[in-house]
A = this chain, B = another copy of it.
Amino acid sequence: MKKLINNPESVVEEMLEGMVMAHPTYIRKLENANVIVRKVSPISGKVALVSGGGSGHEPAHAGYVGHGMLNAAVLGPVFTSPAPDPIYEAIKAVNGGAGVLLVVKNYTGDVMNFEMASEMAQMEDIKVASVVVNDDVAVENSLFTAGRRGVAGTVFVHKIAGAKAETGASLEEVKAVAQKVIDNVRSMGIALTPCIVPALGKPNFTLAEDEIEIGIGIHGEPGTHRQTIKPVDELVDNMVGKILTDMTLTGGDEVAVMVNGLASTPLMELYIVNRKVYKMLEEKGIKVYKTFVGEFMTSLEMTGCSVTLLKLDDELKVLLDAQADTPALKVL
C-alpha cells in the first residue's frame, strides 16, 4: 500500500485538519465530531442542508459545504457510515430555525443512522426532513444497499436544493425540489482498477490486466459484469445506453451532464468520455444545458468514471445556474 498518509487509523482526522487549514474562510470543524460546517453557522431563517456518509469519496461531501450548497457534511470512517451522534450534532449546529434537510445516499447504514439522528433532532423540536438519493441504474440492491445505490447524482441534489434553500424557501419546498432532482437523475459507472481502504491495506477487489467492471459501486461493490476493456466510445455507449433505457428523455429535452472521475482517471480521459456522451445525446436531439467534468464523487484511488444525466426543467435550470461558492464547486 503506497499512500501519502501517516497512519491508516487517522486519515479522516488528518484530512479534516488539512481541509480546514486550506479553507478557513469557508468551513470549520465541530469540536467533538467529524462534522464540517460553514464558517458562519447557523444561518437564521434559512433551511439548512446536511449530507455525509463514509469518507473516501472526496470532495464529497465536505468539499460542498458553502454558500449555495451544503451547510454541513458528516464524515464517517473510510467507506463506513457516520454514527447517529455526529449527524445529530451537525443538525443542531446548522439549524437556523427554518428546519434541516438531510440528503442521504441510499446505503443501509447511512439511511438508518441519518433516520436515527433525525428522530433525535425532532425530539428537540428541530424540524427535519430527509431525501434518499438512489441514482445508480447499474443494479437493484447491492452489497450495502436495498434498492439502488446513491452515487454522483447526489452532487446535483446538493447544488439544486442548496440554491433553493438560499432563496429562503420552506423546508417543504426545499425537500420537494431535492426530490424532483432525485426523480430525474440517473448514473452509471465503470472501474478499471480497485482501491485500497487504508485500514485494510489490500485492494477491495481484483481485476485482470485488461479487465474492467461494468456498473461498479463507489465502494467497489460489484456491478453487472466484467469484460475486457474496449475503446471508450463502446464503454460509454453501454453506460449511457443503460441510463437512457431507465429515464424518459425525448428530442428537445434538456439535461445536465456530469462526467465524474472515480479518482485516478486523468481529466484527458474524462473529456474523451464526455465527447461520446455529448454525441449520443446530440444524435437523439437531447440538448446538453450544462456539463460538469472532473472529480465530484470519488472512490479513494480507484480508476474509472461515472456518467450522470439530470433531466432539467426551467426551475432546475435556474437553481443549477445560481451562484455557489464552496471549496470544491464554484458557480459564478
The residue that A232 contacts in the complex, of B5, B56, B229, B298, with Cβ under 8 A, is B5
Complex Cα spacing A26 to B7, Å:
42
Chain B hits for A15, CB < 8 A: 268-269, 271-272, 275
Closest-by-CB residue of B relative to A281 is B21
Known interface pairs A265-B4, A268-B56, A268-B300. Does A291 touch B23 (Cβ–Cβ under 8 Å)?
Answer: yes
In chain A, positions 1-38 with a C-beta closer than 8 Å to chain B are 2-7, 11, 14-19, 21-23
Residues of B within 8 A of A259 (CB): 22
Interchain CB contact under 8 A, B22 and A274: yes
Report yes or no: A232 in contact with B269, Cβ–Cβ below 8 A: no
Within the complex, the shortest CB–CB distance from A210 to chain B, in Å, comes to 7
Which residues A230-256 have CB closer than 8 A to chain B? Answer: 231-233, 235
Identify which of B193, B272, B298, B323 contacts A267 (C-beta below 8 A). Answer: B298
Interface assignment of A209: CB less than 8 Å from any CB of chain B: yes
State whether B5 touches A274 (Cβ < 8 A).
no
Instruction: Mark interface residues in A293-317 (1 if CB within 8 Å of B CB, else 0).
Output: 1010010110101000000000000
Partner of A275, one of B21, B263, B275, B300: B21
- For residue A233, which residues in chain B have a CB less than 8 angstroms away from its CB? 6
Q: How far is the CA of A58 from the CA of B261 in the complex (A)?
A: 13
* A59 adjacent to chain B (CB < 8 Å): yes
Number of identical monomers bound together in the oligomeric complex: 2
User: Which residues of the partner chain B approach A288 to less than 8 Å between Cβ atoms?
Assistant: 21
Whether A266 contacts B301 by the Cβ 8 Å rule is yes
A3 CA to B268 CA in the complex, in Å? 10
Residue of B nearest to A198 (CB): B268
Which of B18, B210, B292, B332 makes the CB contact (< 8 A) with A271?
A: B18
What is the number of residues of chain A that contact chain B, defined by CB distance less than 8 Å?
63
The CA of A3 and the CA of B210, in the complex, are separated in Å by 10
Query: Which residue of chain B lies nearest to A264 when distances are taken between CB atoms in the complex?
Result: B264
A242 to chain B, nearest CB (A): 17
Residue from A19, A232, A268, A271 with most neighbouring chain B CB atoms (10 Å): A268
A266 and B2 CA atoms in complex are apart in Å by 12
A74 part of interface (Cβ distance < 8 Å)? no
Task: Report the nearest B residue to A273, measured CB to CB.
Answer: B4
Closest to A301 in B: B266
Task: Closest B residue to A62 by CB, please name it.
Answer: B271
Supply 21 A–B pairs (Cβ within 8 Å), ascending by A: A2-B193, A2-B303, A3-B269, A4-B235, A4-B273, A5-B232, A5-B272, A6-B232, A17-B275, A18-B274, A21-B274, A21-B288, A22-B257, A263-B264, A263-B266, A264-B264, A266-B298, A267-B295, A330-B330, A330-B331, A330-B332
Q: Beyond the given A2-B229, A22-B291, A58-B271, could you list 6 further A-B residue pairs with CB under 8 A, ordered by the A residue number?
A: A2-B210, A3-B269, A4-B270, A14-B275, A18-B271, A22-B292
| Interfacial residues, chain A to chain B (CB-CB below 8 A) | 2-7, 11, 14-19, 21-23, 55-56, 58-59, 63, 192-193, 209-210, 212, 229, 231-233, 235, 257, 259, 263-276, 278, 288, 291-293, 295, 298, 300-301, 303, 305, 323, 325, 330-332
